[in-house]
Amino acid sequence: GIAIRDKESAVVPQVTVASFVKSIPDLVPKSAEAREESKNIIYQAVMGEISMEEYDSLVSEWVKKYKYITDAYTTELKKVVKERSGQ
């Protein structure tokens, strides 16, 4: 059941982008800020505090504000992929 699955899952290491790309120190505080802001937007939408149009607008603003973070990590990940593929 669930207890067995949880026990077996605990011994399987989680593989994320962080397994391949180290944190970029300058972006860590902004990443945390972006994560909190995104959770707030989602919460407002789920709780019905904002309309879907407002949600779309807030998400669009959020992407414009924080896209540089994902761009930086994507660049680093591409370097790792290139390095590991021998190119």
Residue with tokens 């591409």: 78
Query: Tokens at residue 26, please?
Result: 């300058």
For residues 72 and 13, the answer to whether their CB atoms sit within 8 Å is no
Q: Does the pLDDT of residue 9 top 80, yes or no?
A: no
Residue 16 one-letter amino acid:
T
pTM to 2 decimals?
0.69
Lowest mean pLDDT among 5-14, 22-31, 51-60: 5-14
The per-residue pLDDT for range 29-83, each reduced to its tens digit, is 999 999 999 999 999 999 999 999 999 999 999 999 999 999 999 999 899 889 8
Cα angle 18, 42, 62 (rounded to 5 degrees) comes to: 70
Query: Tokens at residue 49, please?
Result: 């505090």
